[in-house]
C-alpha cells in the first residue's frame, strides 16, 4: 500500500492552517522567551544608547554612525509612550516588543490579504518561514531595525501585485511610500526597493505602457520624500569609503549570501539551499503552459529583488568598498520566501507539487533545528554576561571602565551601583558626553590615565568593558589585562597591577 497525499484545496488549507498556528505559537514565544531580557547583539548597546537623547540629537548620532533614522524614531516614540505607563526607558523587554510588532503586523496581513489572495497554504507556509528560516527569529527579536525593514519591504512587494493586476494609483502610492520607508529604515532595504522599482520600470515599458504616468509620479515622489536624507547619505558614503568594518567578498561568502534565505554560516547547507531553490523553480517552469502571465512575472519579481539586491551590493563591494553582509539581505529574503510560498501553492501537477513541498519542508526542518540551537546558544552567552555583571555590581570594591562610550551607555545604568569611569572619545559622541552627566553618575577619564588609575588604587577591582574590541587600549606594560568574557562583540577584562610594578612601588 503506497503512501499518497493528495494536495487538493482542502488538504492545502489544513496544512496551511497548521503552519499558521505554529507561526502564532512562535509569536507568543517571542513575547515570553527569556531572551527578551538579555542583550543578544553588540549593536543593541548602540540602540539602547540612542534612546537616551532627544530626537534632534538622535538623528545626528544616527547619521554619524552610518544608519538611516526611522527605526530609532519609532523606538523613541514607542518608549516615550511606554514611559507614561511607568516603563523604564532602559527596559530591554519593552525594546524587544517594538521589534516584535512587525511580525504581528505581517501575521495580520497574511491572514487578511495573503490568505485571501493565495489561500491558507501560502499564508501559513510564509509566516512559518519568517519564524524559523535563516535568522528571521533572531532579527524579529533584537533591538535593531531589521524587523521594520522586513515589514516595509513586504508591504511594497505585496502591493506590487496590485499594480500588475489593477494599476490603480493608490497601489502605486502604497508601494512608493513603503519603499521610501524602507530607505529610511535600512540601506539594504533601500537597495531591495530600488530593485523592485527597476523591475516595475521594465514591466511598464514592456508590458503596460499605460502606467508610465503613474510610474513617473511615483519615482519623483519617492525622490522628493527622501530628499531630506540624501545629503546625509552622501556624507555617510564618504565615511564608508574611508573605513568600514565589513570584510572583503570571497567565493564562500558569496555562496552563503545566495543561500542566506534559508540558512547562514554554513557553506554546505548554503549550496544545498541554492540547489533546492533552482530545483523548485525548474519544476514549476516545467508545468507552465504559458511563458508569460502576471502571476509568473510576479514570482520572478520576488526572485529578482533577492538576486538583484545581492548583485548591486556585490558590484558596490568590488568597485567601491565592501558592504555585502549576509544579515543585510534579510528584507529581500522575506520577499523571496513569500514568492516561494506563492509558487508552491500554484503548482498544479501532483507529483511536482509533492517533490517541491518536500524540498521546502526539508529546509523548514533544518531551519527550525538551527533556530532552536541558536536560541540556546544566545541564552547561554547572554546569561554568562549577565552573571558576570551581577558579580561586578555585588563587589563593593569594583570600578567599571567603559572604553567605547559610543556604544556602552547601556552600562551607565550600573553607575548608580558601581564606581564608573568613561573614556572620552570623539568618535560619535563628541558633542554629547556632557549631556550624559545630566542623567548618569560617572567620571571622565582618558586612555593614558588608566594605568595610573589602577596602580594608585590597588584596593579597587577594575573591570574594562570594550565594545567591538576596536583595537586594544594602550595600557602599556604597567598593568595586566585578563579577559573574563569575550562574545557577542563585547569584551570584559579585569585590570591588575603587574608584579614588576608592585616591586618598583615597594622599592
Mean pLDDT of 20-24: 97
Given the DSSP bridges, would you call strands 490-497 and 461-467 parallel, antiparallel or unpaired? antiparallel
Backbone torsion region of residue 288, taken as left when φ is above 0, otherwise alpha when ψ lies between -120 and 50, otherwise beta: beta
- Contacts (Cβ under 8 Å, ≥6 apart) of 146: 139, 140, 186, 327, 330, 331
pTM for the model stands at 0.89
- Split at pLDDT 50, 70, 90, the class of 392 is confident
Half-sphere exposure of 65 (CA within 13 A, CB side): 21
Chain segment 52-70, per-residue pLDDT in tens:
788 888 888 888 777 899 9
Name beta bridge partners: 444.
422
- Contacts (Cβ under 8 Å, ≥6 apart) of 46: 65, 406, 407
Given the DSSP bridges, would you call strands 443-445 and 419-423 parallel, antiparallel or unpaired? parallel
Cα 505 to Cα 287: distance, rounded to the nearest angstrom: 84
Sheet-wide strand order for 479-487 = 443-445, 419-423, 398-402, 461-467, 490-497, 479-487
Cα 332 to Cα 485: distance, rounded to the nearest angstrom: 34
Buried b (16+ CB within 10 A) or exposed e, 387-410: eebeebeeeeebbbbbbbbbbbbb
Cα 247 to Cα 249: distance, rounded to the nearest angstrom: 7
| Grid cell for residue 268 | 554546505
Cα 199 to Cα 254: distance, rounded to the nearest angstrom: 23
The pLDDT, as a whole number, for residue 280 is: 84
Name beta bridge partners: 490.
467, 487
- Contacts (Cβ under 8 Å, ≥6 apart) of 427: 404, 406
Cα 423 to Cα 409: distance, rounded to the nearest angstrom: 12
- Contacts (Cβ under 8 Å, ≥6 apart) of 268: none
SS3 of residue 490 by DSSP:
strand
Crossing angle of helices 330-346 and 146-165, in 10° steps, is: 40
Among the listed ranges 82-96, 185-199, 259-273, 466-480, which one has the minimum average pLDDT value? 466-480
Cα 185 to Cα 148: distance, rounded to the nearest angstrom: 7
Range of 301-310, 398-407, 447-456 with top mean pLDDT: 301-310
Question: Is a pLDDT exceeding 60 seen at residue 448?
Answer: yes
Backbone torsion region of residue 11, taken as left when φ is above 0, otherwise alpha when ψ lies between -120 and 50, otherwise beta: alpha
Mean pLDDT of 348-361: 86
Cβ 191 vs Cβ 304: under 8 Å = no
**CA 266 to centroid of chain Cα atoms:** 19
| Grid cell for residue 209 | 505602457
Among the listed ranges 89-103, 341-355, 383-397, 436-450, which one has the minimum average pLDDT value? 436-450
- Split at pLDDT 50, 70, 90, the class of 505 is very low
- 3-state helix/strand/coil string of 99-168: HHHHHHHHHHHHHHHHHHHHCHHHHHHHHHHHHHCCCHHHHCCCCCCHHHHHHHHHHHHHHHHHHHHCCC
The pLDDT, as a whole number, for residue 370 is: 85
Among the listed ranges 139-143, 247-251, 263-267, 350-354, which one has the minimum average pLDDT value? 263-267
The pLDDT, as a whole number, for residue 504 is: 47
Average pLDDT, the chain: 85
Q: Answer with the residue of higher pLDDT: 504 or 97.
A: 97
Chain segment 325-353, per-residue pLDDT in tens:
888 999 999 999 999 999 998 888 888 88
Cα 261 to Cα 275: distance, rounded to the nearest angstrom: 12
Picking from 247, 258, 253, 255, the residue whose alpha carbon sits closest to that of residue 322 is: 247
Among the listed ranges 37-51, 102-116, 447-461, which one has the minimum average pLDDT value? 37-51
Question: Is a pLDDT exceeding 90 seen at residue 411?
Answer: no
Ranges of each domain in the chain: 9-381, 395-506
Given the DSSP bridges, would you call strands 479-487 and 490-497 parallel, antiparallel or unpaired? antiparallel
Torsion of CA 373, 374, 377, 378, to 10 degrees: -150
The pLDDT, as a whole number, for residue 216 is: 97
The pLDDT, as a whole number, for residue 488 is: 64
The pLDDT, as a whole number, for residue 507 is: 38
Q: Answer with the residue of higher pLDDT: 136 or 46.
A: 136
Cα 117 to Cα 101: distance, rounded to the nearest angstrom: 23
Question: Is a pLDDT exceeding 90 seen at residue 306?
Answer: yes
Phi, psi dihedral angles at 496 (to 5 degrees): -135, 160
Amino acid at each position: 500500500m503506497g503512501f499518497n497525499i493528495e494536495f487538493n484545496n482542502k488538504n492545502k488549507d489544513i496544512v496551511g492552517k497548521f503552519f499558521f498556528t505554529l507561526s502564532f505559537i512562535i509569536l507568543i514565544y517571542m513575547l515570553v522567551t527569556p531572551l527578551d531580557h538579555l542583550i543578544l547583539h553588540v549593536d543593541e548597546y548602540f540602540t539602547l544608547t540612542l534612546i537616551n537623547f532627544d530626537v534632534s540629537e538622535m538623528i545626528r548620532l544616527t547619521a554619524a554612525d552610518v544608519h538611516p533614522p526611522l527605526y530609532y524614531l519609532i523606538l523613541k516614540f514607542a518608549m516615550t509612550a511606554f514611559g507614561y505607563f511607568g516603563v523604564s526607558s532602559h527596559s530591554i523587554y519593552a525594546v524587544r516588543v517594538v521589534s516584535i510588532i512587525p511580525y504581528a503586523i505581517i501575521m495580520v496581513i497574511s491572514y487578511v490579504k495573503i490568505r485571501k489572495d493565495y489561500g491558507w497554504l501560502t499564508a501559513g507556509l510564509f509566516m512559518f518561514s519568517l519564524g524559523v528560516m535563516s535568522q528571521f527569529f533572531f532579527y524579529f527579536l533584537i533591538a535593531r531595525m531589521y524587523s521594520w525593514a522586513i515589514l516595509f519591504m513586504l508591504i511594497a512587494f505585496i502591493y506590487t501585485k496590485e499594480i500588475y493586476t489593477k494599476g490603480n494609483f493608490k497601489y502605486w502610492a502604497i508601494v512608493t511610500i513603503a519603499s521610501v520607508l524602507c530607505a529610511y529604515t535600512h540601506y539594504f532595504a533601500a537597495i531591495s526597493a530600488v530593485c523592485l522599482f527597476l523591475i516595475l520600470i521594465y514591466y511598464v515599458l514592456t508590458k503596460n505602457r499605460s502606467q508610465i504616468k503613474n510610474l513617473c509620479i511615483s519615482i519623483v515622489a519617492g525622490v522628493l520624500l527622501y530628499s531630506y536624507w540624501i545629503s546625509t547619505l552622501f556624507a555617510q558614503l564618504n565615511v564608508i569609503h574611508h573605513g568600514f568594518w565589513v570584510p572583503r567578498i570571497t567565493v564562500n561568502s558569496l555562496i552563503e549570501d545566495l543561500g542566506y534565505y534559508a540558512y547562514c554560516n554554513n557553506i554546505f547547507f548554503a549550496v544545498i539551499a541554492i540547489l533546492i531553490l533552482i530545483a523548485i523553480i525548474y519544476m514549476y517552469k516545467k508545468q507552465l503552459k504559458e511563458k508569460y502571465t502576471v502571476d509568473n512575472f510576479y514570482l520572478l519579481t520576488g526572485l529578482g529583488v533577492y538576486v538583484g539586491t545581492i548583485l548591486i551590493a556585490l558590484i558596490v563591494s568590488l568597485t567601491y568598498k565592501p558592504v555585502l553582509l549576509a544579515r543585510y539581505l534579510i528584507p529581500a529574503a522575506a520577499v523571496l520566501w513569500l514568492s516561494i510560498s506563492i509558487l508552491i501553492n500554484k503548482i498544479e501537477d501532483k507529483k511536482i507539487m509533492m517533490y517541491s513541498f518536500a524540498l521546502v519542508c526539508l529546509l523548514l526542518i533544518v531551519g527550525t533545528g538551527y533556530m532552536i540551537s541558536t536560541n540556546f546558544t544566545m541564552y547561554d552567552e547572554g546569561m554568562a554576561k549577565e552573571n558576570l555583571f551581577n558579580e561586578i555590581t555585588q563587589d563593593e570594591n569594583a570600578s567599571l571602565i567603559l572604553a567605547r562610550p559610543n556604544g556602552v551607555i547601556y552600562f551607565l545604568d550600573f553607575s548608580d551601583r558601581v564606581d564608573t569611569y568613561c573614556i572620552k572619545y570623539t568618535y560619535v559622541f563628541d558633542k554629547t558626553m556632557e549631556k550624559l552627566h545630566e542623567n548618569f553618575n560617572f567620571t571622565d577619564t582618558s586612555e593614558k590615565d588608566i594605568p595610573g588609575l589602577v596602580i594608585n588604587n590597588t584596593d579597587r577591582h577594575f573591570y574594562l568593558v570594550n565594545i567591538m574590541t576596536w583595537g586594544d587600549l594602550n595600557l602599556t606594560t604597567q598593568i595586566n589585562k585578563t579577559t573574563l568574557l569575550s562574545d557577542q562583540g563585547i569584551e570584559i577584562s579585569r585590570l591588575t597591577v603587574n608584579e614588576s610594578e608592585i616591586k618598583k612601588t615597594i622599592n
